[in-house]
Structure 1
Amino acid sequence: MNSMIAIVAAYLIGSVSFAVVVSRLFGLSDPRTYGSKNPGATNVLRTGNKAAAALTLLGDGFKGWLAVWLAQTFQNQYDLSDSVVAMVGLAAFIGHLWPVFFKFEGGKGVATALGVLIGLNVWLGLGTFVTWLVVAYAFRYSSLAALIASLFAPFYYGLLFGARVELLAVVIMSALLIYRHRQNIANLMAGKESRIGSKAKKPAEDKDDHAHNHAHGKKAHKKH
C-alpha cells in the first residue's frame, strides 16, 4: 500500500506543468498554442522571455528530483525498496508527459527526466546532462540533444550500477522520451526542426499578419 501511495503521489507531483503555470504568472500565451505546442522550457523560450524559460526548466527538473528525494528520505520508514524508488521517478516522469491537472497534455519530459536521474544518482544525472549540453551546443537542436542523451542514460546507469532491476525504469523513461520526440525525429530528417532560441510567431501575430496582408491586397486591387 505504501508503495502504491508513493507512486501515485509522484505522478501527481509530475503532473504540475511549470511551462503552463509560469507562462500564466508572466502573462504569456499558453505554450500549448504556439511553436511546437509543447509545454516545455524550449518552447517557452520562443517567446523571448528567458526568465520564464529558466523557471520552467528549473521547475520541471525540480519536481522530478523532489519525487525521488521524498521516496529516498522516507524509504526506510515506509519500507520502500530501491525498485519502488525507481518507479516513483518513472511515475513523476509519466505525470509530466500526461498530467492529470492539464487534460493530459504534457511536455516531452527532458528536464523532468534529468531531475529524476539526478535524484537517483548525481553522477548519472551529471553524465546525462553533459551529453545533452555537448550535443545541444554543437548542433543547436534541443530535440537531437535529448534523443542522444536519452540513449546514453541507460548506458551510464549500467556502468555505475550494473544490470539491476531499477535499470528497467530508466530504459522505459528513455523509450518514452524518444516516443514523445517522434515528430521532432521526422522534422530533423526533413530539415525542418527549429534550432534553440528561434522564435515562433504566436497565433495572434499570425492573424494580424494575415489581416494586414489581406487589407494590403485589397488596396492593391483597388489601385489596379
Structure 2
Amino acid sequence: MPDYLLTLGPILSLLVGYLLGSLPFAVIVSRLMGLRDPRSFGSGNPGATNVLRSGSKVAAILTLMGDAAKGWAAVALAAWCVRQGWLPELAIPLAGLGAVLGHMLSLFLGFRGGKGVATALGVLLALQPWLALATTLTFLVLVLVTRFVSLASILAAVFAPFYYILGDNAIWRSNAPTTIVIVLISVLVINRHRANINRLMAGTESRLGAKKKP
C-alpha cells in the first residue's frame, strides 16, 4: 500500500462516512410520504422517534432503517476497501465515526441533525454484529421497563463500550482504534441527549405511548 494512503486513506474514509451519514432520511422519507418536516414539530429532531409523532409508523420504520443502513454502509464500504488493500485498518472505525457525525451535523441540513442512535447501531452492526445485538437488547429491555426511549438510548450508549471491551478474546477480537471510536460515538450520543437528561432529572420527560395533557 502506498505511504500516502496510510495517511490520506483514513481521512478519506472519515469524509465518505460523513457524507453518507449526512443523508437525512427523516426528512427524505417524510417528504416522499407527504408528511410534515419532522423538524417542524415535536422535539424538532430529524429522527425516527420524532417521525413517529407524525402518526405514521411506516415512515418511522423506514427512517429507522435508513438511518441504521447509512451507518452500516459507511463501515461496510470501508471494510471492503481494506480487504482490497486500498485502505489501512484504521479506515474502518473512522468511517463509522464519520457516519455518526454526519447524522448529527448533516451537510444537507445546515450542519444540524439528529441524535445518532440508529446510525450508531448501524455502525456497531457492521463493526461487530454480536455487539450490536447486545446493545439493541439492552435498549429494548430498558424501553420496556422504563418507557423512556431517551433513557434507554443513553444507557445503551453507556454499555456499548463496556460490552466491546468485555467481549474481547471471548466473542470477538477488539482493537484500540475501534475501542476509542466506540467510546467517542457513545459520548457523542449521550451529549446529544443533554436536553433529555435535563427533563429526566426534572421529571418532565415524556414516556413512550403516554398521552400529552391538554
Deviations 1:110-152 (A, max 9, x none): 0000000011000010100000000011111110000000000
Give the distance between the partners of 1:77 and 1:3, measured in 2 at CA.
15
Is the 1:82–1:166 contact (alpha carbons within 8 Å) kept by the matching residues of 2? Answer: no
Equivalent runs, 1:50-199 vs 2, <5 Å = 50-161=57-168, 162=174, 164-198=176-210
Cα deviations by residue, 1:25-65 (Å, 9 ceiling, x for unpaired): 11111111111111110011111100000000000001000
Contact 1:40 1:56 in 2 (8 A): yes
Which amino acid is the alignment partner of residue 158 of structure 1? Answer: I
Q: Does 1:14 align with 2:26?
A: no
**1:168 aligns to what SS in structure 2?**
helix
Alignment coverage as a number of residue pairs: 202
Which amino acid in the other structure matches residue 27 of structure 1?
G
Q: In the alignment, does 2:39 pair up with 1:27? A: no
Structure 2 distance, partners of 1:197, 1:22, is: 22
The answer on whether the counterparts of 1:46 and 1:198 sit within 8 Å (CA) in structure 2 is no
Cα distance in 2, alignment partners of residues 163 and 76 from structure 1: 17
Divergent runs of 4+, >3 A: 197-200
1:134-191 alpha-carbon deviations (Å, 9 max, x no partner) = 0011111110000000000000110223562320000000001010000000011111
**For residues 41 and 194 of structure 2, what CA distance do their matches in structure 1 show?**
18
Measure how far apart 1:109 and its partner are: 0.4
The CA distance in 2 between the partners of 1:177 and 1:130, in whole Å, is 17
**CA RMSD between the two structures:** 1.8
Larger Rg: 1
Match of 1:204 in 2: none
Q: Distance in 1 between matches of 2:92 and 2:103?
A: 17
Identity %: 51
Q: Tell me the distance in 1 between the aligned counterparts of 2:176 and 2:12.
A: 23
Alpha-carbon distance, 1:199 to partner:
6.7
3-state SS in 2 of match to 1:132? helix
Q: Comparing 23-32 with 107-116, which one deviates more in the overlay?
A: 23-32
